[in-house]
Chains A and B, each alone.
Chain A
Amino acid sequence: MDWCVTASVHLLLFKKMTSFTFRKSCLIVLLTAALWACSSSEDKTTDPTDVQETNRKAMLTNLADNIIIPSYANFKTKLDAMISKSDAFIAKPESAQLTEFRQAWADAYTEWQKVEIFEFGPGETYVIRNYFNIYPANATGITADIANASPNLEVPASYDRQGFPALDYLINGVGTDDASIIKFYSGTDGAKRLAHIKRLTSRMSSLLSKVTTDWNGSARETFVTKTGLDISSSTSLMVNAIVLHYERYIRSGKFGIPSGAMLNGVPAPEKVEGFYKKDLSLTLAKTAQQAYVDFFNGKSVKTGTEGLALKTYLNGLGAKDSATGKTLTEIINSQFDSSKKKLDALKPNLYEEVKTNNQAMKDTYTEMQKSVRMLKVDMTSAMSITITYTDNDGD
């Protein structure tokens, strides 16, 4: 059908050439017909899922509906639960409430790892990662904000004074034991501090609802309809965002920087994620890694089955290592497995690991670096996507 349209366009073009003979026109028609015949005969032999695999609209729709939007919904549930525990603690700052708040914080922080990857579309519009998870927390800044009647939490300087790392400091880091932490929240100063916790959680809640409102509204439509591969297309923005995520926020942030693998070999254990809680850091890293693998493979958050995603798209393109015949997605997945093995060998407290077992941290970084290369070079090259972000390695 579509070919007929092109054919008539061709003929129109040729009509303008006055001396174009009838015989030549016939030739063109014949050629076009032959091509059309080929394409329709191919229709019968081509597995329809084959075409589906390289259909970006289908891929984007699946990612939006079965992974991105439900992941945000799951995160919202956990964040809301955390906020209600936090409110309970604010109302009654005692040991039992603190314990429940901490648990809810840890659950929400862990769930956050599954949505931090979506720093494209609304996530990027509101740069939600910058307000939710820039660490290490700036304790001095947080203290200053508590004293301030209305701190500005919407500027880059405030990134490390809010979100999960700031809460980590406020519920795990302001005292050496529970008693001293609870004491921190008593009296007039304590009231100010509790008010600041409320300020931080309210900000998280309102930011997340902006993002989810957009995704549930027009952003989804924009996402699934910008099907090109130019630099402003959904696929290109998404691939750039997730490659950056793996490179800077999983590889560098969680391992490269704390272990010193990236900065002159000087370890910086205080730069681990969840520094004050300490024993949550590995869980966060593992969750982020697994969420990444699941997103790459298109594992539905609702059903747990794999659907159209980067994996099927790359398979549909036939991306493979010509030397071994292995598909690129097999190679990438087996590299993800290697990183997972390194993660599994680590103890839950990455702060301690940097201090006592840093080679294992560096090995994890090195293993992840291999994935970065594959994602950044092999995957984008196979997809014909240009990497447009600038990475900050070495800063």
Chain B
Amino acid sequence: MIRILQKPVSAAPLAIFRIAFGAMLFLSTVRFWSKGWIEELYIKPKYFFPFYGLEFIKPLGEYTYLLFAVCAISALFVAFGFLYKMASVSLFLSFTYIELIDKSTYLNHYYFVSVVCFMLIFLPAHVFFSVDAYRSKKIMADKIPAWCALSLQILVGILYFYAGIAKLNSDWLLEALPLKIWLPARNDMPVIGFLFHYKWIPFVFSWFGCLYDLTIPFLLAYKKTRLFAFAAVVIFHGLTAVLFPIGLFPYIMIVTALIFFSGDFHLKIVKAISGVFRWNSTFINSGKTFHFSESSNAALLAFFSVLLLIQMILPFRYLLYPGELFWTEEGYRFSWRVMLMEKAGYTQFQVQDDSGKSLIINNNLFLTTLQEKMMSTQPDMILQYAHILRDYYANHGFSNPKIYVDSYVALNGRLGKPLVSPDVNLAEQTETFQHKIWITPLNDEIKGF
């Protein structure tokens, strides 16, 4: 086993992955910037929703632009394999910092990117076909241990497989929810739009989607089905790209899937690029093998195993909480659950104090539209917002303010109902990893994972 993991294999797959992934992240960052989202999401809001335990991560105001610049440049440096050691660390730190500023912007895919960036810090993705290797013959190599690319394959495999497991539930499979709600919204699309008038189409999409997620890692890993699988990847993500507003992630997933291809395949790409630029063939045929020192190799193997194991265990932490996961969202994040819920909510907060003073809050004075939308359906954010209000009104003429919320949330086509008990004073509740007893139960069971 260890011997298989250590076996020197072509460094080309990891190098191409580095280039493609770095380039996609660079593009994402530029796109984010050009759409004015930095201002919109990280500068304009007056209040933010940090993650529990990570409250020290603060918004940076105008310096957020600097943070994004660092992120974009690091991504570009990673792509080129230039000052890779430093660039990969700063890419991970800047990207992750951005994602942790505000829960409202949380996306599973961002978490995936952070984990990949973290792994890249330790992987020798720069020893081949990079500026660093070009500048220093010492680090140049064309073979690396097999476990390097394998660890990324496993991560991608986890992402898909767990996304598939998460779809094994009654809403997704038996009700075709939320696709039943989302697909008719696209029934005016050219060519395929008319399909979404049919009630059975969301079922086809749901079942195929689930089957796709569960099987694609294996089909990509197995040589004979790989090409077919990759075509499926292109079609699947291409379809999600045209159907749903999910930015560049479909494309990121498409290039990520290339990591499953063989060294020969990637070498062909490398040679094609080298050919265009007429680079010296020794650049891609150094004949050297990259070795970690024996101790760091063992440490890294153990470390990566733990890291990947965490990714497999974390999604099941929801089992420790009572209540319906989709409703309470306790243990929902960082679990590769994507596109599973159509959830909308409406919250009206009231602040009171002992003197009988009372006020209905206009949420827009405190939150942006996106923040309000996200907060309205997620209990932990409702609590955070209640504390923002408590602290604000404590300084504005309310002694010891009490905060109550009148909430109304609809999940996957169910009729709306209160998410939070209306007579609980949220000012007194504290955030913990414990179950929040003030969440009103859904009183409906979504069977399965």
List the interface of chain A (C-beta within 8 A of B): 2, 5-6, 10, 13-14, 17, 19-20, 24, 35, 38-39, 42, 46, 50-51, 54-57, 227-230, 262-265, 317-323, 328, 331, 372-374, 376-378, 380-388, 390-395
Residue of B nearest to A261 (CB): B360
When distances are taken between beta carbons in the complex, the residues of chain B under 8 Å from A383 are: 181, 185
Residue of A nearest to B198 (CB): A42
> Given contacts A381-B413, A384-B342, is CB(A54)–CB(B228) below 8 Å?
no
- Interface band, chain B: 35 or more
Most chain-B CB neighbours within 10 Å: which of A6, A42, A320, A394?
A394
By the criterion CB–CB under 8 Å, are B198 and A39 in contact? yes
When distances are taken between beta carbons in the complex, the residues of chain A under 8 Å from B361 are: 394
By the criterion CB–CB under 8 Å, are A54 and B235 in contact? no
**What 0/1 pattern do residues 410 to 431 of B give for CB contact below 8 A with A?**
1001111000000000000000
**What 0/1 pattern do residues 223 to 259 of B give for CB contact below 8 A with A?**
0000110010011000000000100000000000000
By the criterion CB–CB under 8 Å, are B227 and A17 in contact? yes
Return B369 CB to nearest CB of chain A, in Å: 6
Judge if B395 is at the interface, Cβ distance under 8 Å: no
Return B135 CB to nearest CB of chain A, in Å: 36
Return A364 CB to nearest CB of chain B, in Å: 17
Residue of A nearest to B190 (CB): A2
Return A336 CB to nearest CB of chain B, in Å: 16
When distances are taken between beta carbons in the complex, the residues of chain A under 8 Å from B234 are: 13
Partner of A14, one of B182, B231, B364: B231
**What 0/1 pattern do residues 24 to 67 of B give for CB contact below 8 A with A?**
00000000000000000000000000000000000000000000
Partner of B184, one of A2, A14, A320, A384: A384
- New A-B pairs, 17, CB < 8 Å, besides A378-B416, A381-B344, A394-B359: A2-B191, A2-B194, A13-B235, A14-B231, A50-B197, A54-B187, A55-B197, A262-B360, A264-B359, A265-B358, A322-B415, A331-B415, A376-B346, A377-B345, A377-B346, A378-B410, A390-B369
> Given contacts A323-B415, A381-B344, A393-B360, is CB(A373)–CB(B408) below 8 Å?
yes
When distances are taken between beta carbons in the complex, the residues of chain B under 8 Å from A320 are: 413
When distances are taken between beta carbons in the complex, the residues of chain B under 8 Å from A228 are: 185, 188
Partner of B362, one of A24, A56, A386, A395: A395
Judge if B286 is at the interface, Cβ distance under 8 Å: no
Return A212 CB to nearest CB of chain B, in Å: 27
| Interchain CA distance A387-B410 in the complex, whole Å | 14
Judge if B354 is at the interface, Cβ distance under 8 Å: no
When distances are taken between beta carbons in the complex, the residues of chain B under 8 Å from A54 are: 184, 187, 196-197
By the criterion CB–CB under 8 Å, are B197 and A384 in contact? no
Judge if B91 is at the interface, Cβ distance under 8 Å: no
By the criterion CB–CB under 8 Å, are B369 and A388 in contact? yes
22 A-B pairs (CB sep. < 8 Å): A10-B235, A13-B235, A14-B231, A42-B198, A54-B196, A54-B197, A56-B188, A321-B415, A322-B415, A323-B414, A372-B346, A376-B346, A377-B345, A377-B408, A377-B409, A383-B185, A384-B181, A384-B182, A390-B364, A392-B362, A392-B364, A393-B362
When distances are taken between beta carbons in the complex, the residues of chain B under 8 Å from A318 are: 180, 199
| Interchain CA distance A328-B194 in the complex, whole Å | 24
> Given contacts A20-B227, A384-B185, A395-B362, is CB(A373)–CB(B415) below 8 Å?
no
Judge if B348 is at the interface, Cβ distance under 8 Å: yes
When distances are taken between beta carbons in the complex, the residues of chain A under 8 Å from B409 are: 377
| Interchain CA distance A133-B98 in the complex, whole Å | 45
When distances are taken between beta carbons in the complex, the residues of chain A under 8 Å from B415 are: 321-323, 328, 331, 378
By the criterion CB–CB under 8 Å, are B185 and A377 in contact? no
